[in-house]
Chain A
């Protein structure tokens, strides 16, 4: 049968794949929901996370207890008053400050003791800093800022020659890789993991489930098309869409937030492709488990999007999680991708970090794609 043999030829195969990709492309362009997830959502996340969500602590209300009225004490107090990070009010007594703290009118108390000026000459001056500890994260950061403020003041004093002796307290405080201490520097690169997860896993799972729901697969199956061709027809368009999402995210990071890219761009793109394949594999696998768009989106959000947000180290430091959760994070591919992303954006081509993480992603990609191919059958029910 000549018709039958011609269907197995390489040319026929390529033409079928091209037809499926073209069809998918039309659908993406004409279906507002694909555009929403593929383009609008990344942009929205970028703006939301870049401008709206910030872990920076600014304008901490602080009470300064002036028990010493010397010029030195006033100088030290001014270092808090001039700082962007604090909103300082001066009070006379410790009792007054404590009351303000209890009422939550201030989050910190800076106490300059009565013998401050005298002990400064001896090099044993002390400033007491009390921080409201209910929000541990803000408290720790506030404490750091307080130390920073004092250190700045002392450096200035020393420069002006008022302190001849070595500084009474030496504080070395520096935020590595984020000199500007700007949280958008690590949030924006982390966003790429969300964008890739949305396009790769969520969108793919949805469009496959949609074909089941609308009954389009049933007609498609009874043609010469092979299962692998259907799989390619689904992956290639969303891979391209994912790369567009990546480009938009990188551009946004660079232009809107001035995030530096210290590693090489080529490497960044290569690892992102790897993660995109992982995400596509997950999306295809999920869609082989369910034929309903609703269930597919629920599973995808719980299994990929939420872990990518909470357990990848993108928002919360994995090292400060309980050990059990730390172990669990190893299951989610997003974790490896976030490590690579933050390294490439903020540190550079640090091979000891990139290589092992990329290797894990490569293994995951090949396993998932193999499973997806196995799970794709032209059968119903």
Chain B
């Protein structure tokens, strides 16, 4: 740093912030946090949910005061004069406060008025904003009727109605499909690189952190490390390898085995193989990986690997991500667990699911992927018998959902997108209630509850109200509850959203174990890389099925870019874009 360097837009020194929950316990949201955001740079706050990212952004925006420490924003001590800061910055909270009853134009006008933007300035800025966000066509549409991605773009436009001196974005891409995510990032990067705006963005997507100038890695209120993305990536240098999957073995089975090994920090399936991060740098021929028959080669480290190295050092890790069923699922393998034929669901004149067909064999892991509004959840609800189909046939576990819904329901377990257990009931009470709801009684009920608690390691929390369980354990309880009646088919709707990377890997370990014991698993997810755990996936967009196949077949839709293998996300974007272009060309002709 040169001595003449100007004051940084944000300087934080040893910030502390503690909250007291309604239950009386205190939570350290920020614990000794220091960082600096330089003029004209992009800073990313990276970490899982509960790391303290939102609290830090709120302190910078003057919405909260730190308990201790110093925080200067644009040369102003925020706690002393929050209004002076708020006059000059732009802030987009996690669920951006768009007024859903107001149109796109009215939302923009409101923020322009609040920021004192005059009529002549508006003439200059509005066309720019509409061009940037591609929202020009939707000016008159109510904000509540926009898709998730468009809402985020409108939120961003509202903070940019007058040039802010600092822009704060809190998880701007949560709940946004990969396509819109890419567009949103293009806008942010343009603002930083062309307009020289200082931006601080928080994210739990690790690949997004790679785009920034400075990354602050946070966990449980503490800063684990900070530096350029390559400095974080360097933590895993020399420790990353690609292990080839033996023939006839799903990558996820190898991944689950490797993840259990001592000396392995991380293992994820990737393009049909498994990427591992080792605890210590090692020579390629001396990998601590069992019998040594596995083919492997060195791979360049990426940001996520570095992050996992940092994370593994502090996060509690239970290695038992496997589980055993009392008795393996009774379905004959190769039988059809789910058959969907020409499925249609309409709401008024809106078609949510448009002639979708697919089949899932028993023991398979099957993934439904698609942007928001693609029809994933609607399809799911019909499969679980929660919503009748408008047209088409649905067979689940051999039972026709139109005629014998109750019969089908007995054979399936369902984990909803949101935590849907009773928060005020303890772990034991929830299990007891759901066991009774599934019709379990006496000895068998006691056995099944004991099984669930043992398999999901919930014994330590028996008496704790389930609403107060740590995040990963809520997920476990939800899954344990769904398995009480030993279903043959398990439905998981966005089950890993909001979970930290380690909890997600444990979760997938359990799914893999279930599938190996004959349980059929159907999942929806918005983490594209999680599609690698599936046997087959289907890609949905606007209610229609665009592609179906194994992860390798899907990946083949995208061309290799600048020498690297296309990722699942590249393939997804390629498939959706091709389909949308095709439809756009059809429209004027027809």
Contact = CB atoms under 8 A, between A and B. Distances in A.
A2 to B, nearest CB: 11
Interface stretch (A136-144, A213-221, A264-272): A213-221
A363 interface: no
A224 interface: yes
Given A216-B99, A380-B58, A224 B64 contact: no
Interface stretch (B87-95, B419-427, B428-436, B452-460): B87-95
Contacts of B89: 222
A323 interface: no
Contacts of A27: 99, 101-102
A7 B118 CA distance: 12
B62 A223 contact: no
A197 B95 CA distance: 32
B63 A222 contact: yes
A188 to B, nearest CB: 33
Contacts of A19: 109-110, 113-114
Nearest to A5: B87
Interface centre among A4, A30, A222, A381 (most CB of B within 10 A): A222
Interface string A55-83: 00000000000000000000000000000
A378 interface: yes
Interface stretch (B78-86, B225-233, B314-322, B555-563): B78-86
Contacts of A16: 113-114, 116
A319 interface: no
Contacts of B438: none
Given A23-B102, A26-B101, A378-B86, A218 B63 contact: yes
B19 interface: yes
A6 B116 contact: yes
A294 to B, nearest CB: 15
A15 B119 CA distance: 12
A226 interface: yes
B140 to A, nearest CB: 13
A166 interface: no
A12 B116 contact: yes
Contacts of B64: 379-381
Nearest to B113: A19
Contacts of A380: 58, 63-64
Contacts of B109: 19
A216 B155 CA distance: 11
Interface string A5-43: 011000010011011101100110011000000000000
B101 A223 contact: no
A3 B111 contact: no
Given A15-B116, A19-B109, A224 B97 contact: no
A27 B106 CA distance: 11
B93 A224 contact: no
A218 B116 contact: no
Given A7-B87, A219-B155, A378-B86, A225 B95 contact: no
Contacts of B96: 215, 219
A379 B83 CA distance: 11
A172 B61 CA distance: 75
A30 B101 contact: yes
A332 B96 CA distance: 39
Nearest to A27: B101
Given A30-B101, A215-B95, A219-B96, A4 B84 contact: yes
Contacts of B63: 218, 221-222, 378-380
Contacts of A379: 63-65
A16 B100 CA distance: 20
A226 B88 contact: no
A215 B94 contact: yes
A-B pairs with the 5 shortest C-beta distances? A19-B113, A216-B97, A219-B97, A222-B91, A218-B93
19 contacts: A1-B88, A6-B116, A7-B116, A19-B114, A23-B102, A26-B99, A211-B97, A215-B96, A216-B98, A216-B99, A217-B97, A218-B91, A219-B155, A222-B63, A223-B87, A223-B114, A224-B83, A224-B86, A378-B63
Interface of B: 19, 58, 61-65, 82-84, 86-102, 106, 109-111, 113-116, 142, 155, 158-159, 162, 168
Given A223-B87, A224-B86, A378-B83, 8 more contacts: A20-B114, A23-B99, A27-B102, A31-B101, A216-B97, A220-B97, A222-B63, A224-B116
